[in-house]
Amino acid sequence: MTQSMTAEDLFAHVQKMPSKERIKFFSLIAINAFQEPDYTHDQVFGHLRNSTFSSEEAAEFLEISLPTLRRYVQAGRLKPTSVIGRSQLFSSADLRLLKQKIDKE
């Protein structure tokens, strides 16, 4: 019968390791346990390609305040794709283009 090790047992064992072995141990954990695959932009956000975003969502995506978003709309830097009542909706493609411009400024 095999005996399982508790987290406390493992921690005590790691504390007793020589410094170089501890470094190697945590490096192995970081490399193997937390390694994430590289996803393309399309794999992560492809489902949003034809989506529209509210003003609040657009401002959050652009990392700007809602008043700044409104100024961009008034200045013609961003045009809503549709207006429903007082709500404006923005296309993900337009937001992505504006985000690239803002990041270059």
**pLDDT for position 57:** 93
pLDDT for the residue numbered 41: 65
In the chain, the number of structural domains is 2
The per-residue pLDDT of the chain, averaged, comes to: 86
Model pLDDT for residues 1-48, shown as the tens digit of each residue: 567 889 898 888 888 988 888 888 888 877 777 666 677 767 767 777
Task: Kindly state whether residues 46 and 97 are assigned to the same domain.
Answer: yes
pTM of the model: 0.57
DSSP H helical ranges for 1-105: 7-16, 19-33, 41-45, 55-62, 66-75, 92-104
Closest by CA to 55, choosing from 88, 78, 85, is 88
Buried/exposed 68-89: b ≥16 CB within 10 Å, e otherwise: ebeebbeeeebebeeeeeeebb
Q: Could you list the residue range(s) of the whole structural domain that residue 71 is in?
A: 41-104
pLDDT band per the 50, 70, 90 thresholds, residue 71: very high
19 plus 64 within the same structural domain:
no
